[in-house]
Structure 1
Amino acid sequence: MRLACFSAIKIKCGSENFNGYPVCATLERHIPMSGTKDPAGMGVPPTYVRRTPLTVLAGGLRLTAVFDGLLKSAFDAYRHVGAAQLRQALGPMANEDAPWTDSNCFVVESAGSLGLIDAGSGVHLDHTAGALSNHLTDMGIAPGDIDYVIMTHLHGDHVGGLINPDGSRIFPRAVMHLHTEEAEYWRNAPSGVAGEHHPADLTGMALRAYSDGAATFEDGREILPGVKAIHLPGHTPGHSGFFIGEGPDAVFIWGDVIHLPEVQFARPDITTVYDLDVVRAEESRRKALTMACEARLKVAGMHLRQPPFGRVVRHRNAFAFTADEIGAAPRVP
């Protein structure tokens, strides 16, 4: 099984629009696709209903970003920023009631294996998310083709796509890889500890479904050839990012370091109610942004807007993000 190639897109960045910091223009960065009906009348921007996966070469591995959909959040879920500021900064990615958050997963292909980094929401959360399975079908990937699933962390919008409504596995052969502290925390977490948006029972269902043969990792460990972990705790105890590939084309997938890119690059102090430890979450965000900036790393994130690949630069006393131009990636030999 091989992945299809995808056409190129071009990205432009807009003018300063949040506290004087530049943010890539939201409308220019959308990728229109077929199926523009607004699901369930939820006020979703029409270009966000469906879009094509995007593929890059990451230091010898083939990495494809798959848009799982949109998650509806809440203005009061973000600390140190008001609803009016968020509405202004997010533009069409917020309505009067709430901001919309992008949700991404990644397919990793090497010469000998095929796997996922996170799996989206599945059928368990918002009707506007859970598109991973359809995208995999379109890409010619059957559930039985997936060899492994590497987890940034175990919130519901990352594990829901691993399980059916009855809790059974969607990927029958896949081995789950997760940080040791993430596994320990969620195996002992009381129901509802993650809040309404991330039900602990959904996380528990995924853990039970993939417990046989599950593997844990530590900070700095090479999980699989070309995939190295970096511990970025705070959002959850074992929240982790990953370096995909080696050399100048390597990609740093940082998980949930950023939830709302329109504001958190400019204001890394903005945390969320979904962070289990807000102090460590902010520390990890600043660590990841500083590292990405100083090392000039190509980055990708689970909640970056489309396309979710780009570079971090210093701007004033904080950061800004520039999305990459993405073209079709060549085959992995």
Structure 2
Amino acid sequence: MSKTTGRLVDNLKLKNIHPNDIDCIVLTHLHPDHIAGLLPSNGNTLFPNARILLSDIEYSYWQKKPNLLELNIPPEVRKMLQSTTSEFLQRYADRIETVSMDEQLMADISLFAAPGHTPGHVGVEVQTDDTLFLIAGDAFLHPAHFTHPE
């Protein structure tokens, strides 16, 4: 994707977190900039003990192998979207678990529906004792979304 990507495992190891320590990965949606890091070039998978959670709507959409002709993107980008997503679904088929778009995953972690960028796009809400974190995925793509969230 770029020179600054593909460093997840190395950066985790710097914090003494190893791939076997990860037991759950929550994906906001299945675009390559969110999943390609889970597709090492050797054809294997990463994080062997991790369940992969994604919304049931997102999973269903990509399982149907959409032609994406409604998107105003170059054909080579359309092909890359389709092939990366297809490869991801194939490699991780035995570990994917679908959840509803408003699922409570744990006491302090829940999903919220944020469709639009993709049909099954979700955000993740993480509540600590005194802080609420929102992981918006690609729900905010421009500074104006923060200035005028409506």
Q: TM-score range by the shorter chain?
A: 0.7 to 0.9
Asked if 1:180 is matched to 2:56, the reply is yes
Alpha-carbon displacement from aligned partner over 1:52-103 (angstroms, at most 9, x marks no partner)? xxxxxxxxxxxxxxxxxxxxxxxxxxxxxxxxxxxxxxxxxxxxxxxxxxxx
Aligned equivalents of 2:16, 2:67: Cα separation in 1: 37
Where 1:154 maps in the other structure, the secondary structure is coil
Where 2:111 maps in the other structure, the secondary structure is strand
- What is the letter of the counterpart of residue 148 of structure 1? C
Asked if 1:255 is matched to 2:129, the reply is no
Aligned partner of 1:148 among 21, 24, 41: 24
Deviation at residue 186 of structure 1 after TM alignment:
0.8
Asked if 1:211 is matched to 2:87, the reply is no
Q: Structure 1 residues 220, 192: CA separation in 2 closer, same or farther (over 3 Å shift)? A: closer
Where 2:125 maps in the other structure, the secondary structure is strand
Aligned partner of 2:146 among 233, 258, 265: 265
The residue that corresponds to 1:170 in the other structure is: 46
The residue that corresponds to 2:122 in the other structure is: 240
Aligned equivalents of 1:244, 1:237: Cα separation in 2: 22
- What is the TM-score when the length of structure 2 is the normalising length? 0.83
Aligned partner of 2:6 among 119, 125, 130: 130
Q: Structure 1 residues 211, 247: CA separation in 2 closer, same or farther (over 3 Å shift)? A: same
Aligned equivalents of 2:64, 2:43: Cα separation in 1: 18
Further displaced range: 216-225 or 146-155: 216-225
Would you say how many aligned residue pairs link Structure 1 and Structure 2? 144
Deviation at residue 201 of structure 1 after TM alignment:
1.0
Deviation at residue 260 of structure 1 after TM alignment:
3.2
Unaligned 5+ runs, structure 2: none
Where 2:25 maps in the other structure, the secondary structure is strand
Q: Residues 5 and 37 of structure 2 are in contact (CA less than 8 Å); yes or no, is this contact kept in structure 1?
A: no
- Cα RMSD (Å) of the superposition? 2.3
Deviation at residue 246 of structure 1 after TM alignment:
4.7
Q: Structure 1 residues 166, 192: CA separation in 2 closer, same or farther (over 3 Å shift)? A: farther
Asked if 1:157 is matched to 2:39, the reply is no
Deviation at residue 166 of structure 1 after TM alignment:
4.3
More helix per residue: 1 or 2? 2
- What is the TM-score when the length of structure 1 is the normalising length? 0.40
Where 2:62 maps in the other structure, the secondary structure is helix
Deviation at residue 134 of structure 1 after TM alignment:
2.0
Aligned equivalents of 1:247, 1:145: Cα separation in 2: 24
Unaligned 5+ runs, structure 1: 1-124, 269-284, 287-333
Asked if 1:226 is matched to 2:115, the reply is no
Q: Structure 1 residues 165, 237: CA separation in 2 closer, same or farther (over 3 Å shift)? A: same
Aligned equivalents of 2:88, 2:107: Cα separation in 1: 25
Work out the percentage of aligned pairs sharing the same amino acid. 31
Deviation at residue 224 of structure 1 after TM alignment:
3.1
Aligned equivalents of 2:5, 2:142: Cα separation in 1: 17
Aligned equivalents of 2:98, 2:141: Cα separation in 1: 25
Aligned equivalents of 2:132, 2:126: Cα separation in 1: 6
